[in-house]
Amino acid sequence: MSAADLADFRADVRAWCRAHIPSDWRAAQTGATDAEFVAFQQAWFQELRGAGYAVPHWPAEWGGGMSVAQQTVLYRELAAHDAPRLVLAFVAIHHAAATLLAAGTDAQRERHLPAILDGEIWVQGFSEPDAGSDLAALRTTARRQGDAYVVNGQKVWASGAAHADQCLLLARTDPAAPKRRGISYLLMDMRSPGVEVRPIRQATGESHFCEIFLDDVVIPAGNLVGPEHDGWRVAQETLGTERGMTMLELAERLGNGGFRWLVEACARPGRDGTAPLDDSRVRDRLAELETEVTGLRALCADLVANDAPGPADASIVKLYYSELLQRMTDFGAQIAGPAAHTVLRKPLSSGWESGAWVLDFVGSWEWTIPGGTSEIQRSIIGERGLGLPREPKAV
């Protein structure tokens, strides 16, 4: 696409944003009920879908087909115009779609990709209570019985499970195999008998995460993704998406939403008539953060555009984003001062940097966990990226 074509595309997106983004969505989503949140998210997804903006990263035959340059422009304009985020569809349009496109069968793609476009909500069932950061230590079992698997176990930290229709599930199908080789990857209908979801109340007051209890849940063998016992390899596709593709939008949100609000907060005069921006130390810190955000956005664009990324590139981006998010929201909480501690609610469809700085800072810590903790990312960078010796295992 030429520069002129890209400029035309940007103008189209801007015009669409001005016409379609609800001006009052932040007020409407602050204190909204669960049902109002779900209804708003579903309606906003269809609004974006109607414009061709819901799944720009998917292949063209499935409704996407945008170049990386177009995706960057789209995400930048949506963030700059303060559009709501697709919080509920996040796992479906990124993790589930990437997994199905890379390792699913034609039947699985035909079944689920159109359903996702119609609003099917997905959750990722990977983490377990006793596995910690070692995902391969999972204990949930899937026992083959005829043309189905019978699943028993427990998952935790499942984002949005309370609303999910489908689950990307990892379960152990060969207990005797080395732990990374005896795992299978299954698609589970969340309405199946034996599935129980319990929301977890977080420090921010939200219940975004849930526990999932699985008691003799029957999953058809046709819902197996990839070869049996080879789910660890398939899961790397899902995790790679979480560490890489999703970051393109999040980086633009951080730069065009979070940082812009931070600068505005710094320019706002206090009771004594002075503004934080009058302090040279604040200006220096803003310059540092802007430099970091610019670097992050360049890293993300390079990763997504690269057909053969390095073995640790996605981990570098994920680690950098999550820790930069903490640094920025931490500084935002300092600038906002004690009054920010009285803000107890934020808009439900906002991003990780909503401008409610204390809540954003508390919530930012969760980003060092999903897709592999920061410690896991550092191990991947060291071992796969730098070729360092593998971390010694406890005897």
pLDDT tens per residue across all 395 residues of the chain: 788 999 999 999 999 999 999 989 999 999 899 899 999 999 999 999 999 999 999 999 999 999 988 998 999 999 999 999 999 999 999 999 999 999 999 999 999 999 999 999 999 999 898 776 678 889 999 999 999 999 999 999 898 899 999 999 999 999 888 878 899 999 999 999 999 999 988 877 777 889 999 999 999 999 999 999 999 989 887 777 666 667 888 888 898 888 999 999 999 998 889 999 999 999 999 999 999 999 999 998 888 878 788 888 888 999 999 999 999 999 999 999 998 999 888 888 887 788 889 999 998 988 887 777 888 889 989 999 999 998 776 55
Domain boundaries, the chain: 3-96, 121-229, 235-386
What is the Cα–Cα distance from 261 to 101, expressed in whole angstroms? Answer: 37
Domain 121-229, CATH: 2.40.110.10
Active site residue 110: no
User: DSSP H helical segments within the chain, as ranges?
Assistant: 3-20, 25-29, 34-51, 68-80, 90, 97-103, 106-117, 231-243, 246-253, 259-267, 280-305, 313-336, 357-364, 374-380
* Cβ atoms 125, 91 nearer than 8 A: no
Domain with residues 235-386, CATH architecture: Up-down Bundle (1.20)
Classify residue 155 as left (phi > 0), alpha (psi -120 to 50) or beta: beta
Domain 3-96, CATH: 1.10.540
Q: Which residue in the list 128, 211, 242, 366 is annotated as catalytic? A: 242
* Cβ atoms 210, 161 nearer than 8 A: yes
